[in-house]
Structure 1
Amino acid sequence: MGTVSVFASVCVDGVMQGPGRADEDTRGGFRHGGWGVGYADEVMGRFVGGMGRAAAMLFGRRSYDDLLGYWTSVTEPNPFTEVLVGSRKYVVSREAGARLVHPNSTLLVGEAAGTVARLKGRIDGVIRVLGSGELVRSLHAAGLVDEYVLLIHPIVLGSGARLFGEGERADLMLREAVTTTTGVLVARYGVT
């Protein structure tokens, strides 16, 4: 059976929207895009590099299009493109006709809780979720997340989509934590 591991950059106030670029996600009038730029260092690089050690990657449709669209257009060498393109990818969508243009991609049509529960039963190893806030909130509510790897940035934005929405309490156990040289806390939590 697979384990679902969410990998996300968040601010101290839980915002996960648009960390990478100013134009990454402007939904709801979000104007803080690119807030995670300038915090990368060697320590963070080791954790980010580990995201590729997964049996599969799982995305919501919007994050799949955005992340792969961006990283497959970058010409400079980086640790992301090869991992993202080469990994087995599953994309959750309610649209049966959704077109997936990147290699090694499989569409999971339907509601996230059902499709991901079935996927967990078919895959051995880690199923890594990148970005995909709406998907994460749905999986969290259904009790399907086994682990959170959070890059907690030392910023408070005050607005934007948060990792966790309204819902039931969830107890987490800190399994590993390290602070980067830029003040980002990288924390790995198991769901108890």
Structure 2
Amino acid sequence: MAITAFQSVTLDGVMQGLGRPDEDTRGDFTHGGWGNGYQDEVSMQFASDGMAEGGALLFGRRTYDDLLGFWTTTPDPNPFTDVLVNTRKYVASRSKDTVLDHPNSVLLAGEAAETVMAVEQDTAEDLTIMGSGEVARALHKAGLIDRYVLQIHPIVLGSGTRLFGADDRTDLVLERSVTTTTGVVIAQYRATRSRRC
């Protein structure tokens, strides 16, 4: 099993509130929707290629509710919704009482790093973390992420929750990079070591 973190970040590493002004206002964040206007055919093709590789998705509960809630209520049919609905989704939550409202969803109740390690024992299926900053940071700190795919947007916000915090150093090897027509650099990195090795 390989775990990939697929994240959109600003040049200064902020990942909070990518899609909508009201998406995530925690900490009085006022820059929500900063990712709008940067999507193009290059980024769509990159995402489509990634989805075609298969595997399961891993979310934190908040991102799961927000992302699935949005894409399953959008009126226009699109392949992204089909993938989200039909793919197995693991949802990390500290509460065993969390209710998962969408099909093909499996609750991982407890601390994210511990529950994901348990999943690794039971399946060879690759996992992709989409958004879900708290989960990504917990797995990063535990050395469980094998690959990082970062969509680095040409914008500096100066505030907001960043993808990486004060964690241990992680050395990465660039495997692939693509620049979109809107200036987004999509960089795929492999972690050179992890704590589970």
Q: Which runs of 5+ in 2 are unaligned?
A: 193-197
Q: What RMSD, in angstroms, separates the aligned Cα atoms of the two structures?
A: 1.0
> 2:35 aligns to what?
36
Q: How far apart are 1:58 and its partner, in Å? A: 0.3
Residues in 1 aligned to 2:130 and 2:123: alpha-carbon distance in whole angstroms: 17
> 2:67 aligns to what?
67
Give structure 1 regions of 4+ aligned residues with deviation exceeding 4 angstroms: none
Residues in 2 aligned to 1:180 and 1:71: alpha-carbon distance in whole angstroms: 24
> 2:99 aligns to what?
99
Where do residues 158-169 of structure 1 align in structure 2 (5 Å cutoff)? Answer: 158-169=158-169
AA in 2 matched with 1:171: D
> 1:49 aligns to what?
48
Residues in 1 aligned to 2:24 and 2:88: alpha-carbon distance in whole angstroms: 25
Q: How far apart are 1:120 and its partner, in Å? A: 2.0
The alignment covers a number of residue pairs equal to 191
Q: How far apart are 1:99 and its partner, in Å? A: 0.2
Q: SS state of the match for residue 99, structure 2? A: coil
AA in 2 matched with 1:139: L
Q: After superposition, what is the alpha-carbon deviation per residue over 1:73-120, rounded to whole angstroms, capped at 9, x for unaligned?
A: 101133321111110000011101100000000001111111111112
Q: How far apart are 1:141 and its partner, in Å? A: 0.4
Q: How far apart are 1:54 and its partner, in Å? A: 2.8
AA in 1 matched with 2:16: Q
Where do residues 55-134 of structure 1 align in structure 2 (5 Å cutoff)? Answer: 55-134=55-134
2:11 aligned with 1:12, yes or no? yes
Residues in 2 aligned to 1:54 and 1:108: alpha-carbon distance in whole angstroms: 20
> 1:153 aligns to what?
153
| TM-score (structure 1 length as normaliser) | 0.97
Q: After superposition, what is the alpha-carbon deviation per residue over 1:144-190, rounded to whole angstroms, capped at 9, x for unaligned?
A: 00000010000000000100011110000000001001100000000
CA contact (8 A) 1:55 1:123 kept: no
> 2:24 aligns to what?
25
Residues in 2 aligned to 1:5 and 1:185: alpha-carbon distance in whole angstroms: 17
> 2:2 aligns to what?
3
Residues in 1 aligned to 2:7 and 2:80: alpha-carbon distance in whole angstroms: 14
Q: After superposition, what is the alpha-carbon deviation per residue over 1:10-32, rounded to whole angstroms, capped at 9, x for unaligned?
A: 00000000111111111111111
> 1:180 aligns to what?
180
Q: Which runs of 5+ in 1 are unaligned?
A: none
Q: How far apart are 1:123 and its partner, in Å? A: 2.2
Structure 1, 124-133 or 99-108: larger mean CA deviation = 124-133
